[in-house]
């Protein structure tokens, strides 16, 4: 399956890269993975630090990051597309977590291009 992830050119997510403040509490539209319906008992398969946040669709990614559009563009963030076996992805209601080192990165495009177009050019998939 495909997982979409916003990250810097170094592969760091926008929260860890301090592009977006990570001090906000879990909310209904931006829950922490623990509050998003993810089966946490499955996380024990790999160390917790092996899991990274992502999205199962471009639309899900857009809903999450719309309010941070300018910060992500100014932070030179990109949307990376990873291919990974579905058993290595734990899906929540707004996001997913996946074992990044077991995934293959297929492509990476500037955040604003993907957000504005609503698709990844190479795949031509609208969400």
Residue 59 near residue 2, CB atoms below 8 Å: no
State pLDDT tens for residues 17-61: 889 887 777 888 889 888 898 887 777 666 677 889 999 999 999
**How far are the Cα atoms of 96, 99, 117 from residue 53, in angstroms, in the given order?**
6, 9, 22
3-state SS assignment for residue 67: helix
Residues 6 or more apart from 86 whose CB is under 8 A from it?
1
The DSSP 8-state label assigned to residue 56 in this structure reads S
Q: Dihedral of the CA atoms 107, 68, 94, 98 (nearest 10)? A: 40
State pLDDT tens for residues 67-124: 999 999 999 999 999 999 998 899 999 999 999 999 999 999 999 999 888 777 655 4
Residues 6 or more apart from 44 whose CB is under 8 A from it?
none
Closest C-alpha to 79, from 116, 125, 115, 126: 115
pLDDT at 127: 41
């Amino acid at each position: 399956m495909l997982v979409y992830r916003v990250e810097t050119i170094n592969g760091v997510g926008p929260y860890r890269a301090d592009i977006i403040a990570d001090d906000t509490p879990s909310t209904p539209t931006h829950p922490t993975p623990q509050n998003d319906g993810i089966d946490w008992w499955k996380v024990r398969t790999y160390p917790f630090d092996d899991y990274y946040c992502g999205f199962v669709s471009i639309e899900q990614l857009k809903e999450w990051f719309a309010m941070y559009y300018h910060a992500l563009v100014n932070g030179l963030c990109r949307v990376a597309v990873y291919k990974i076996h579905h058993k290595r992805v734990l899906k929540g209601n707004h996001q997913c977590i996946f074992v990044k080192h077991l995934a293959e990165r297929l492509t990476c495009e500037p955040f604003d291009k993907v957000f504005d177009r609503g698709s990844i050019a190479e795949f031509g998939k609208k969400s």
